[in-house]
Amino acid sequence: MRRALLVILPITLALAACGDDGIDGQPGTYSVSGVVRYEDRPALATALLGDPVPVPARFIEVAVIAEDDGATLATGTTDAAGKYTLTFDGVGGEAVHVLAIPSSSDPARPISVKHVDPVTGIAKELHGFGGETFKAGIVTTHDVLITAASGEGGAFNIFDTLVVVMDRVPAAFNVTNPPPVTALWQVGSDDGTYYLDGDHEIHLLGEEVDGDEYDDSVIAHEAGHYIEDVIGRTDNPGGDHDGSPTDPRLAWSEGFATYFALVITDSAVYIDTARDGGFTFDGEASVTRAVANGGIGQDVSEDMVTEILYDMGDGLGDDPLDGTHDAVLALQPFLRTATLRAAGTPGMDLVDALDGWFVKNGLASCAAIRTIVVATRLFPYDFGGAAGACPP
Ligand SMILES: [Ca+2]
Ligand SMILES: [Ca+2]
Ligand SMILES: [Ca+2]
Ligand SMILES: [Ca+2]
């Protein structure tokens, strides 16, 4: 349709517009390349956000858009360095811009970041950021910076954190091409931060007093719930949770999700920033205890679950298990189809994860797990799973 428009351009107009490089007004095949970056805001140990830092917008979609009629002239993706090259049929010198979209149709990274229509509250549209206008064919190198101030930087940070998640999936879970995940966020969104089972939707706060769009820990925590949903196992009954002892199934799910966030952010410290100071939790330095004579079905803290998983996955240091995080994460697909024992709390909880650990890995780590779980945190795990009794 756009080509038909070009054909009827008066020749005199094309001649009159001749200018730079002799291509002004000339239909032709042109290209533009450059780097797309977005302004990230680091979550500081103080639970405040740091100043904006430009980083590559990796693996996003980009398009060349004609300014006069909004036609899409070319589409493509950025690479790991945020670089793109787009080739398009257009008119030399016509006004165009590059549109950056936090979405990927790569089956290995099926991510889209959307916003809710502010009028209807229902429609879910992709975020997008339009770069500055330039002249097609005359400008051949064009970079785009998605600023934090534009209100779109956060959408690209959410996308980028989910790229880290997706790129971990094959090694951690032996899964390729997981189901698409959608993140819903926009400046001002106030319906909470949570994951919607079944819809594969991550909802994130965008309030001025507490946004989560730059809180990589929080984004990765919600992605942990996505992993449980589509790859692993959860019987999380939902509800409020704050680290105090709670339903073991809730504690398992939230504790795993926080552990997953520590792995994805490559940091033992979980940070949820807020304008006036947020929340941090150190999964390695903290020690949260259960009740030694409370039984294996007792209410437990999600923090204790996170700490145990972290000690199982990290190297030697403050615990005797020289582990790998991928070995701990691999429990999720294993547990998805495992038969859980009826003892303790029915449904997926820490006891079932430990049972699965020994079935999957053998009993060599019995003594180390005893130290991490029973001696350090007083949780009275009974080593009563299907793998059989541990050596005394
Ligand atoms: Ca936050
Ligand atoms: Ca360890
Ligand atoms: Ca440790
Ligand atoms: Ca159970």
pLDDT digits (tens, 9 = 90+) for 290-320: 999 999 999 999 999 999 999 999 999 999 9
Give the ligand at the shortest distance from the Cα of 348: 4
* Contact between 109 and 180 (Cβ < 8 Å): no
Q: Is the pLDDT of residue 1 over 90?
A: no
DSSP 20: G
**258 residue type, one letter:** T
Please tell me the predicted confidence (pLDDT) of residue 57: 98
Beta pairing class for 111-116 and 181-184: parallel
> How far does the centroid of ligand 4 lie from the alpha carbon of residue 385, in Å?
11
> How far does the centroid of ligand 1 lie from the alpha carbon of residue 216, in Å?
9
Phi, psi of 222 (to 5 degrees): -65, -35
Give the ligand at the shortest distance from the Cα of 340: 4
Q: Is the pLDDT of residue 258 over 50?
A: yes
> How far does the centroid of ligand 1 lie from the alpha carbon of residue 303, in Å?
18
pLDDT band at 284 (very low <50, low <70, confident <90, very high): very high
**72 residue type, one letter:** T
Give the ligand at the shortest distance from the Cα of 323: 2
DSSP 389: P
Structure tokens at 29: 């095949």
> How far does the centroid of ligand 2 lie from the alpha carbon of residue 171, in Å?
19
> How far does the centroid of ligand 1 lie from the alpha carbon of residue 248, in Å?
26
Q: Is the pLDDT of residue 11 over 60?
A: no
> How far does the centroid of ligand 1 lie from the alpha carbon of residue 70, in Å?
36
Please tell me the predicted confidence (pLDDT) of residue 116: 84
> How far does the centroid of ligand 2 lie from the alpha carbon of residue 295, in Å?
25
> How far does the centroid of ligand 1 lie from the alpha carbon of residue 1, in Å?
46
Q: Is the pLDDT of residue 13 over 50?
A: no
Beta strands per DSSP E along 231-286? 269-272, 279-282
Q: Is the pLDDT of residue 249 over 60?
A: yes
| Residue where the block lists tokens 């145990």 | 308
pLDDT band at 18 (very low <50, low <70, confident <90, very high): very low
DSSP 271: E
Give the ligand at the shortest distance from the Cα of 327: 2
Please tell me the predicted confidence (pLDDT) of residue 122: 74
> How far does the centroid of ligand 3 lie from the alpha carbon of residue 351, in Å?
20
> How far does the centroid of ligand 1 lie from the alpha carbon of residue 369, in Å?
33
Q: Is the pLDDT of residue 10 over 70?
A: no
Give the ligand at the shortest distance from the Cα of 234: 4
Burial class (CB in 10 A: 0-12, 13-18, 19+), 26: middle
> How far does the centroid of ligand 1 lie from the alpha carbon of residue 133, in Å?
34
pLDDT band at 20 (very low <50, low <70, confident <90, very high): low
If you write DSSP's letter for every residue of 71-88 in order, what string do you get?
Answer: -EEEEEE--TTSEEEEEE
Mean pLDDT (whole number) for 125-144: 97
| 156-184 per-position pLDDT tens digit | 999 999 999 999 999 999 999 999 999 99
> How far does the centroid of ligand 3 lie from the alpha carbon of residue 90, in Å?
58
| 47-63 per-position pLDDT tens digit | 999 999 999 999 999 99
Give the ligand at the shortest distance from the Cα of 218: 1
